[in-house]
Amino acid sequence: MDSSTSSISAVVGVGHTDWVEDYKRVRSGEKPHDSYGYATQAFNCALRDAGIARDEVDGLIVGPTTAYERMGEILNIDPRWGGQADAIQAVLQAVLAIKSGMAEVIALVYGNDQRSAAVQYGGPEAMGGGAFLSYVYHSAWGLTSQGALYALMYQRYKELNGLDDSTLGQVAVAQRQWASLNPNAIMRKPITMEDYLGSAYIAEPLRLYDYCLINDGGVALIVMEAERARKVAAKSGTKPVYIRGIGRADLNSKATSLGPRLLDFYLPAQNKAAKQVFDAAGLGPKDIDALMVYDSFSPHILFALEGFGYCGVGEAGEFIARNGIGVGGKLPINTGGGHLSESYMQGWNHQVEAVRQARGGLGNRQVPNCRHVQYTSDVAGKAMSVIYGA
């Protein structure tokens, strides 16, 4: 994709449920909504944020936790174009749909009742036991836990690069720093390196604070054709955030034998996606003011820093120690607290935080002079990225 990406589309509205309250209510035994209810709440919030009517929406992409047809029925939307995708693929698909003229105003809607529904992410019924998930192929050896897979991946990386346990601790401590400034974050109490090192291993070398939070909730974004977004902004006084570049590259070969994960840490795919997204935006790593990384587990951060060119291979731990990724650091990462401390919204909350940072006005959580925010994801070797810009 060429540099014209920045003139195609913009995010004009974001919304989400009250993750803190969602968490409290579910812990107390309540089940206030199912996935559709959470998604509907978030959609209504995003519409209000965008300052548009529901009837203006002519495209709909729903998260994989809800059925597309049923979600459209509940929202009363009969779109010209639609589908189902995870967070980053939804953004990429929205850009491509707008570019092709299939839609002008696309709602990206996600809802998940994963905590109250006791969704299993490991064990014989992991994610419903779906055989299409590559990690379920390893159930014969008991290796269905995503945490165990990332523990295995990080253990090799750790030994290759001579790292100690404090390396990952830098990630957990930094993201909790950001969460302490975020009223939407579930876990706001700061932690120290001593807290991190004193926490229990869940799947060694990953500790408690290396794991994401599992929580109910919903998220929605409204993506609009760029010129229309400018006109809407002129009337409403809102600030559109433009999608400057997108990129994607997949590693499927030898996936079920864990080859891309254990041998290359997904680097080849990340390198290709990095070139695409930076070329499209006309930017490079030095131009990025804040970085959002899909972080179901803390090692994602290290792999993304290397794969997307922020530092050399094997240098991520040293990069974090030298530059800082927390409050006051040279490269702020996951400024809302990420999946480790804000909420596990499967990458969707990162899009909201990226847009809000680019808009500005976040008080003591705001990254100074924030113009460009990048999001990266490497789930199961599918490396994808988007750059947002004010």
- Per residue in 303-339, pLDDT tens? 999 999 999 999 999 999 999 999 999 999 999 999 9
For residue 124, tell me if it sits in a domain.
no
Q: What is the pLDDT of residues 248-293, one digit of tens each?
A: 999 999 887 888 989 999 999 999 999 999 999 999 999 999 999 9
**Alpha carbons 249 and 96: distance in angstroms, whole number:** 16
- Residue 244: CB partners within 8 Å, gap ≥ 6? 5, 6, 280, 281, 282, 283, 372, 387, 388, 389
How wide is the angle at C-alpha 151 spanned by C-alphas 145 and 153, nearest 5°? 110
Residues 225, 249 share a domain: no
For residue 72, tell me if it sits in a domain.
yes
pLDDT at 1: 36
Lowest-confidence segment of 31-35, 43-47, 120-124 by average pLDDT: 120-124
- Residue 291: CB partners within 8 Å, gap ≥ 6? 304, 310, 325, 331, 332, 333, 334, 373, 374, 375, 376
Residues 186, 43 share a domain: no
Residues 376, 264 share a domain: yes
Residues 328, 204 share a domain: yes
How wide is the angle at C-alpha 226 spanned by C-alphas 221 and 231, nearest 5°? 100
CATH of the domain at 79: 3.40.47.10
pLDDT at 254: 87
Is a pLDDT exceeding 80 seen at residue 201? yes
Residues 183, 86 share a domain: no
Structure confidence at residue 2 as a pLDDT band (50, 70, 90): very low
pLDDT at 378: 94
Residues 389, 285 share a domain: yes
Sign of CA dihedral 265, 266, 271, 277: negative
Is a pLDDT exceeding 50 seen at residue 4? no
Q: Which of 223, 238, 253 is the last residue of a domain?
A: 238
For residue 109, tell me if it sits in a domain.
yes
Residues 40, 158 share a domain: no
Q: Which domain holds residue 70?
A: 1-119+214-238
Report the pLDDT averaged over residues 219-232: 96
For residue 137, tell me if it sits in a domain.
no
Averaged confidence pLDDT in the chain: 93
Report the pLDDT averaged over residues 155-161: 97
Q: What is the pLDDT of residues 55-105, one digit of tens each?
A: 999 999 999 999 999 999 999 999 999 999 999 999 999 999 999 999 999
Residues 104, 19 share a domain: yes
Sign of CA dihedral 251, 253, 256, 259: negative
Residues 273, 192 share a domain: yes
Where does 17-93 show beta strands of DSSP type E? 59-62, 81-84
From residue 38, alpha-carbon distances to 43, 45, 205, 383 in Å are 9, 11, 34, 28
For residue 49, tell me if it sits in a domain.
yes
Percent of the chain with pLDDT over 90: 83
Q: What is the pLDDT of residues 364-386, one digit of tens each?
A: 999 999 999 999 999 889 999 99
**Alpha carbons 109 and 234: distance in angstroms, whole number:** 25
Count of domains for the chain: 2
Q: Are strands 59-62 and 81-84 parallel, antiparallel or unpaired?
A: parallel
Residues 261, 228 share a domain: no
For residue 127, tell me if it sits in a domain.
no
How wide is the angle at C-alpha 219 spanned by C-alphas 372 and 299, nearest 5°? 60
Helices (H) and strands (E) in the chain, counts: 14, 11
Lowest-confidence segment of 107-111, 115-119, 309-313 by average pLDDT: 115-119
Is a pLDDT exceeding 70 seen at residue 199? yes
> For tokens 């922020």, what's the residue?
310
Residues 247, 224 share a domain: no
For residue 79, tell me if it sits in a domain.
yes
Task: Label residue 38 exposed, middle or buried (CB < 10 Å: 0-12, 13-18, 19+).
Answer: buried
**Alpha carbons 222 and 94: distance in angstroms, whole number:** 10
Residues 231, 162 share a domain: no
Is a pLDDT exceeding 60 seen at residue 130? no
For residue 134, tell me if it sits in a domain.
no
Q: Are strands 372-377 and 382-389 parallel, antiparallel or unpaired?
A: antiparallel
Is a pLDDT exceeding 90 seen at residue 216? yes
Is a pLDDT exceeding 90 seen at residue 122? no
Top pLDDT among 232 and 198 is at 198
